[in-house]
């Protein structure tokens, strides 16, 4: 789970306790995914090359395949059409062929909550009946969609609520792209043929900061972002896509080469001793190894800078010494530091740093020449933190199951 847009807004009077033996990944059994077998290929999430091959396999003459890809692509990803019969620039018999061999299927919105500040949280059901969360955050001049890449999470970051939920499975590329398409449906953002062109983008940015570690689902995330970045469809610039990782070092160079989006890192500590507890993947790839990989990223990806996400935990990682160490560690890396006030959740072993401590920490970083924005919580009234509603759903299912057992 990436903490960028995460965590819950419940108070706690607990004294911070640091669990010292958190595993790197959970010891879990991944459940097999049972997809409905319609016999048709879902177009959503296929890259252009994959769609071309699928059309050829379905009987499209190879010489026509590139043209057909362009036509279908525009209908699905520019106009948001879900019915092949509406693809009016295709011959009737070809539309029938598409309907016989293909489908356009998105995940299902189970619930939608809208905050007083405009934040929208969607509980989304995917194949197999599993659920993930997607959060839309409107801001002045832009709108950001936080998407999930896994059901649950492989990691066990001790401050992250979603990290307490077992990994079930990776999302497919279609399920990742589908979250963006569902949000555009809900916001009414698809263009209308014949209407004046509207340059306003309600969803102008994507952050891969929802449930899961994106770099542990690299191929699906890469293919989904290729679809999202395509200029003839959803048309999101790679500079408006941010992938957040806990530090899966071997995949960082691949991200630069094969996706080229902006990168955020769940950093959260300035010593290996503390980061081993907060972000246990640090036991595998420590701070020095991670920073070595990050130094090359802006050059390899042609991105401007890396975002370091830093959750503020009282008495754990928020001292002046931590701030000075952080500045020293990232020296030479084009960077900004996002300071995230910890949002406590039931049973959380940490407390949020005080406002004075957070601002003192930010001031040290700012005076060293780095941007150090303090994130403003959004959607607090609907608890729009990734992982929260899913947790409530799981608890509800368990209660119903227990009741059913009791009554026989």
Active site amino acids: 133, 386
Residue at token pair 């299927």: 105
Taking every pair of Cα atoms in the chain, the longest distance, rounded to a whole number of angstroms, is 70
Q: Specify which residues 66 forms β-bridges with.
A: none
Give the integer Cα–Cα distance in Å for 408 and 390: 27
DSSP letters, 61-98, are -HHHHHHHHHHHHIIIIIS----GGG-TTS-HHHHHHH
Give the integer Cα–Cα distance in Å for 225 and 356: 39
Degrees, nearest 5: CA angle 80-259-105 = 30
Closest residue by Cα to residue 256 from 213, 298, 207, 224? 298
Q: Is 176 exposed, middle or buried (0-12, 13-18, 19+ CB in 10 A)?
A: buried
Closest residue by Cα to residue 248 from 158, 154, 317? 154
């Amino acid at each position: 789970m990436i903490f960028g847009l995460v965590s819950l807004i419940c108070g706690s009077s607990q004294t911070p306790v640091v669990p010292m033996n958190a595993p790197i990944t959970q010891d879990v059994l991944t459940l097999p995914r049972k997809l409905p077998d319609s016999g048709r290929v879902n177009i959503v999430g296929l890259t252009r090359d994959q769609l071309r091959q699928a059309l050829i396999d379905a009987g499209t003459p190879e010489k026509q395949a590139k043209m057909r890809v362009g036509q279908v692509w525009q209908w699905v990803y520019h106009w948001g059409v879900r019915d092949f019969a509406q693809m009016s620039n295709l011959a009737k018999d070809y539309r029938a062929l598409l309907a016989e061999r293909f489908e356009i299927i998105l995940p299902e919105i189970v619930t939608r909550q809208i905050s007083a500040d405009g934040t929208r949280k969607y509980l989304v059901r995917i194949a197999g009946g599993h659920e993930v969360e997607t959060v839309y955050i409107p801001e002045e001049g832009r709108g950001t969609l936080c998407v999930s890449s896994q059901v649950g999470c492989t990691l066990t970051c001790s401050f992250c609520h979603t990290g307490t939920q077992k990994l079930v499975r990776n999302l497919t590329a279609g399920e990742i792209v589908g979250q963006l398409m569902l949000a555009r449906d809900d916001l009414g953002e698809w263009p209308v043929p014949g209407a004046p062109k509207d340059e306003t983008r309600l969803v102008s940015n994507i952050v891969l900061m929802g449930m899961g570690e994106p770099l542990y689902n690299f191929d699906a995330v890469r293919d989904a972002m290729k679809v999202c970045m395509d200029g003839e469809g959803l048309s999101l610039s790679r500079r408006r896509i941010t992938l957040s990782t806990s530090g899966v070092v071997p995949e960082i160079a691949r991200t630069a080469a094969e996706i080229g989006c902006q990168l955020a890192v769940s950093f959260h500590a300035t010593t290996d001793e503390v980061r081993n507890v907060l972000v246990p993947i640090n036991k595998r790839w420590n701070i020095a190894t991670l920073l070595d990989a990050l130094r090359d990223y802006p050059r390899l990806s042609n991105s401007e800078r890396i975002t370091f996400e830093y959750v503020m935990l009282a008495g754990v990682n928020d001292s002046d010494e931590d701030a000075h160490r952080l500045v020293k560690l990232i020296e030479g890396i084009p960077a900004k530091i996002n300071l995230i006030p910890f949002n406590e959740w039931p049973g959380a072993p940490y407390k949020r740093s005080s406002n004075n401590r957070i601002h003192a920490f930010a001031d040290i970083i700012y005076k060293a020449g780095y941007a150090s924005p303090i994130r403003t919580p959004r959607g607090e009234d609907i608890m729009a933190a990734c992982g929260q509603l899913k947790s409530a759903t799981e608890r509800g299912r368990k209660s119903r199951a227990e009741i059913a057992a009791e009554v026989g």
